Amino acid sequence: MTPQTPRTPRTPQTSRTPQQLLERARRLAASGDRRVLGIAGPPGAGKTTLAEYLVGELGPGQAVLVPMDGFHLADIELRRLGLTGRKGAPETFDPYGYTALLRRLRAARRGEPVYAPGFDRELEQPIAGSIPIPPEVPLVVTEGNYLLLDDGPWAEARKLLDESWWVELDDDERVRRLIARHERFGKEAAEAERFVLDSDEANARRVAPGRAAADLVITFGPGQAPLPDPARSGLDPA
């Protein structure tokens, strides 16, 4: 399967209900060939929650989740590069490895499973070869902040998506969830707030232009969410 040509700018559609999103993903899975659905958005918008919902509802024979976070550079490399304080920024990932994986996933070959890296939130480290993708699974759902970032090697990743969705959440609620997530994984309250406002929000501003490139924009305001609050459900609101 050859990568799609770059799309022309347009006004993306907006959808709000989980069932509508599930049906759209189901149509992709039923299209005949391997398809890759990318879910992008700012930190804390609910990308992981939505991706896990879709894959869980479609079932293991129909879809598999491959998070971009598996391509985080390990802490030992971040220290070597002097990027420990920027962990989570685009330069702290391996975009070339990620795009190489997307190419392999698009060109599924009979009898050849692909193994993708995952990311352990408890360890805050990538885990190599932890996600098997059988060749017969028709839909790969991948999610991350930088899927639609038009910057250097990331621009190649966006060309390898059959469809892209942008998830956004009311900013106050999104920041609240991010702080809660960092506290849940070990940061003190003040440290969590400082990291969110200094680092996560800088990354949110950096990815914001990607909204215009999405095929579908999913917008939620105060008191709205596509699924239960991840901070309460145990899911990660990435």
Band (113; pLDDT cuts 50, 70, 90): very high
Cβ neighbors of 95 (< 8 A, separation 6 or more) are 71, 146, 152, 153, 154, 156, 157
pTM of the model: 0.85
Question: Bridge-partner residues for 143, per DSSP?
Answer: 39, 67
pLDDT value of residue 34: 95
Backbone angles phi, psi at 42, to 5 degrees: -75, 165
Where is pLDDT greater, at 121 or 178? Answer: 178
Can you tell me the distance from the alpha carbon of 121 to that of 64, in angstroms, rounded to the nearest whole number? 19
pLDDT tens per residue, range 161-190? 999 999 999 889 989 998 998 888 888 888
Residue 61 has pLDDT above 50, yes or no: yes
Q: What tens digit of pLDDT does each residue of 124-167 get?
A: 788 999 999 999 999 999 999 999 999 889 999 999 999 999 99
> What pLDDT score does 206 carry?
93
Tokens (6 digits) for 25: 């993903």
